[in-house]
Amino acid sequence: MIEIHDLVVQFGGVKPIDGLTVQLTRPIVGLIGPNGAGKTTLLNVFSGFVEPRRGWVKVRGELITGIPAHKPPIWVCAAPSRPIRSPKI
């Protein structure tokens, strides 16, 4: 279960994620959208490379936003062209 609540990411005047709220109960196999839609930005929030301006993300009930990229939880997230977050497992 992945919960995303009122997520906002802003880069200067660009706001690729603006108040995203969604609960995902099934495995995700893909994320599609046009160039610049914010797909990579969302993955970067999961991996800790991007800090949201507002909102939070929980994976299996565990808050993963606000955790620095060098202090990973037990799961792994990687966005293309970024280093893979090293797992504790």
DSSP assignment letter at 64: -
- Pick from 40, 67, 73, 76 the residue near Mg ion by CB under 5 A: 40
Q: Contact between 83 and ligand ADP (CB under 6 A)?
A: no
- Are residues 45 and 1 in contact, defined by beta-carbon separation less than 8 angstroms? no
Copy the structure tokens of residue 57. 């993300």
- Pick from 35, 61, 88, 89 the residue near ligand ADP by CB under 6 A: 35
- Are residues 50 and 9 in contact, defined by beta-carbon separation less than 8 angstroms? yes
Q: Contact between 82 and Mg ion (CB under 5 A)?
A: no
Q: Contact between 39 and ligand ADP (CB under 6 A)?
A: yes
Q: Contact between 48 and ligand ADP (CB under 6 A)?
A: no
Copy the structure tokens of residue 65. 């936003």
